[in-house]
Amino acid sequence: MKRILAITFLNYFVSGGLTLIIPLLLLERNVDLAEIGIVISVLPLVFLVVRMFLAALADLVGWARFYILLNWPGALFSTLIYLIAGSTPFFLLGKITEAVKESSYWAVNRTAIFSLAPRQREREATRNIAVLRLATALGSAASGLAIAYMGFSFALSILVFASAIIGIPATLLWQTRKQSSRLRIQRVTELLDPRGRDGTFWLVSMTILFFSLAQYPLLALLLPVFMSQQLGYNYIAIGISYMLYNVIASAITFGTLRISLGTRRVAIQSSLALFASFLLVYSGKYFPALFLALALAHGLGIGFFESIIAKATKNRRAISVDIGLLHVPMRFAEFTSVLFAGFVAQSLGYLPMFVSSGIFFTIFSILSLYVLKS
């Protein structure tokens, strides 16, 4: 598990930095919010297609080598492309390559965890997300400081270096045992057939869709631009804000590993999300407190997210494909939401997008509880 956690940490140190850098860099180059949304929306769309193919391939040939053959080069090349990008098409190419990095990681990551820790799959998957949040925090903070003092090129150079290091733990996983021969004889197209999954499986798929809608457009596009344009935050302040958000979400995820996923927890996290999201646009000097309230809510939600995925895929043979199929509606929703979030914010302001975030998170929380109790 240590090698998996090391790969997670390095991947999301890079991703945390890119989440902060790319919209701010495009904003610095006078690209409008709607066009930034188009660039960022490319990632979930490409991710969706590539992940499903890689998940089927992983269930046929084993998951271990995907980290070194696809995830590591994807991380390295995407950061290099961003480093030299001089126009919007280059940023689009960077997003496509970054999508390969993300899809190759997520195509096999939960499968790897479930394989290496079958008796503690929910807890280890949740622990992995906590490490992910911590790495994202450090990546965003380092990037904010680097941009402020040394510029965008220096910040991206740090991410290039971190991407290169992914190759070390990835190489150490090369000899991990392969998948069973029973799965190897199945064709990729058979594995990708969505039929044969029960109602609970698709209910979980719809549930995690709402979790993503509550977070993805907010963190990947709207909040960095809102902090810069509406609140006048400098790059250091934005980086530190993102760092604190992810540190708190990570600490809450770690700290609640042993706490039951019940009605009281749903009520607390939903109330926090609704309160913060409805007031965020009018927050002014109170913005940090509301932003961190969202971190508390989202950190509490991770336990539900990982537990319902583990429940939906328990005792399934093609785990990578099943996990990928669960995420198909979610990725379509991410693509659509980010694509239109820029246009909505530019035309109607930030309030509709912020409010919808809290509502979506509440729906996710209630549905998750229903799935776990059913």
**Residue whose token pair is 């949304």:** 37
Judged on CB neighbours under 10 Å (0-12, 13-18, 19+), 148 is middle
Domain span at residue 148 reads: 2-178+197-373
Task: Tell me which amino acid residue 252 is.
Answer: I
Which residues, 6+ apart, have CB-to-CB distance to 314 below 8 Å?
A: none
Mind listing the pLDDT tens digit for each residue in 197-237? 777 888 999 999 999 999 888 888 888 888 888 888 888 88
Does residue 187 lie in a domain region? no
State the average pLDDT over residues 55-65.
71
Does residue 185 lie in a domain region? no
Does residue 189 lie in a domain region? no
Lowest mean pLDDT among 42-56, 126-140, 169-183, 272-286: 169-183
Return the higher-pLDDT residue of 3 and 8: 8
Extract the tokens encoding 176: 């991990």
Does residue 190 lie in a domain region? no
- The count of structural domains within the chain is 1
pLDDT at 168: 87
Residue 277 and residue 227 in contact, taking contact as beta carbons nearer than 8 Å: no
Any idea what the CATH number is for the domain that residue 129 is in?
1.20.1250.20
CA 272 to chain centre: 21
Does residue 286 lie in a domain region? yes
Does residue 186 lie in a domain region? no
Of all residues in the chain, what percent carry a pLDDT higher than 90? 28
Does residue 188 lie in a domain region? no
In 3D, which of 161, 130, 155 has the Cα closest to residue 142?
155
Mind listing the pLDDT tens digit for each residue in 137-195? 899 889 989 998 899 999 999 999 999 998 888 888 776 555 444 445 455 555 555 56
Helix, strand, coil share of the chain (percent; to 5): 85, 0, 15
Residue 194 and residue 325 in contact, taking contact as beta carbons nearer than 8 Å: yes
pLDDT at 180: 47
Is it the case that residue 98 has pLDDT exceeding 70? yes
pLDDT at 339: 79
Does residue 110 lie in a domain region? yes
